[in-house]
Chain A
Amino acid sequence: MAEVIAKVEVECPECGQKQMESENFISTACRGCGRYIQAIARTGVGQGKTKRLVVKKREVTCADCGEMQMVAEEAQSSSCLACGRHLELGHREIVGEHLGNLSLEGQLTIGPKGNFGGAKARAAYIILKGRSSGDLEAADWLRVEGKAKVRAGATGRRLEIKVGSSLECSGPVVFQEGRIDGELRCGSARFVGLVEVGPKGKVVAETMSFAELTAESGSQIRAQAETSAA
């Protein structure tokens, strides 16, 4: 929580009007006569160590322009300093049917019985346990933790499919990197960098491309594949 700064009483040397100001104020205007008052003119106030409001911040990257900025940790929304886009910073969980597009800088969870029915959902982190009719875009990672189905495509930086989980995707799957410990079924899977398939992992794709691949003993892959430059 943010620290609350104490207030002090300030008396106008001109008209005697008393008003409350922040303890570390530097200057103000009298609400009675409008005279400009400097903190240094008051005895014992504003001459000590200035207290700063301590607000914990976190890093947010705008989905539209990619500008990185710092926002208060507790903030639920903000505006991009570069492009002015509204940034929804909170988390969202879909437990039933959700219609309409979503774009948030926090985490989106689509529950086991949840269905994202919009055209596109974008979030920094996506936990997918249910279904999606629209495209999913994870700025950071998309983690599959159940029997998930996506009728469109899925993109992002990193794809993780946990042991016992599966992702069936009708559209293209495009990620920077991936760790497959469950099952991935799709028409096209493209990993710009490394894809790792764990001992219980399975990939069935019509086409697959990657820069680097590790398939551990016990894993299964069936695909027409090719390597691509990272």
Chain B
Amino acid sequence: MSDLESGATANPALAGEGLKIMGEVKMGRDGVIRAKLKGNVRASGKLVLTADAEVSGFVEGQDVRLEGRVDGGIVGRGQVWLGPKAVLRTRCKGKALRIELGADFKGELWVGS
């Protein structure tokens, strides 16, 4: 999980700090989200949700690192990483998973295919 661990993605799409978005967000490449979103997020690449990010819907991506809050669950096609201040509800699905000490998760846990 080296990329996820560092929070680095190459040429990421950005949904910026202080921004509020209503509706579904689709990303065709790696992305970093710092905004508050009322809706779902779908990314075809890696996705990093920073400590400022709040998503009321679900998040789907290849590899997902969460430092902020997601209420609708995360579905990762690869690895999912929850940082020490992450808050996740509803569901966490991935092929590999790391939940760090301090992360707050409650919901369905599904690891593997």
* A residues lining the B interface (CB < 8 Å): 194, 197, 202, 208, 210-227, 230
Contact = CB atoms under 8 A, between A and B. Distances in A.
B32 to A, nearest CB: 24
Q: Is the interface of A mostly helix, strand, loop or mixed?
A: strand
Nearest to B100: A212
A214 B98 contact: yes
Contact of A217 (B95, B100, B107): B95
Interface string B9-33: 0000000000000000000000000
A214 B38 CA distance: 30
Interface in B77-113: 79, 92, 95-101, 103-112
Interface residues of B, number: 19
Give 9 closest A-B pairs by Cβ, nearest first: A220-B112, A225-B109, A221-B111, A217-B96, A215-B97, A226-B106, A213-B99, A215-B111, A212-B101
Contacts of B109: 208, 221-225
12 contacts: A194-B101, A212-B99, A214-B98, A214-B99, A215-B97, A217-B79, A217-B95, A218-B112, A219-B111, A226-B107, A227-B103, A227-B106
A13 B96 CA distance: 84
A219 B96 contact: yes
A214 B81 CA distance: 9
A197 B105 contact: no
Contacts of B98: 213-215
Contacts of B105: 225-227
Contacts of B79: 217
A224 B97 contact: no
B78 to A, nearest CB: 8
Contacts of A226: 105-107
Contacts of A210: 99
Contacts of A212: 99-101
A213 B95 CA distance: 14
B69 to A, nearest CB: 14
B72 to A, nearest CB: 17
Nearest to A202: B112
Contacts of B111: 197, 215, 219-221
A225 B108 CA distance: 6
Contacts of B95: 217
A52 B82 CA distance: 58
B112 A211 contact: no
Contacts of A224: 107-109
A227 B109 CA distance: 11
B99 A221 contact: no
B111 to A, nearest CB: 4
Contacts of B96: 215-217, 219
Q: Quick one: which of A194, A211, A213, A218 has the most chain B CB within 10 A? A: A213
Q: Quick one: which of A215, A216, A218, A226 has the most chain B CB within 10 A? A: A215
A226 B105 CA distance: 5
Given A216-B96, A217-B95, A219-B96, A230 B101 contact: yes
A213 B97 contact: yes
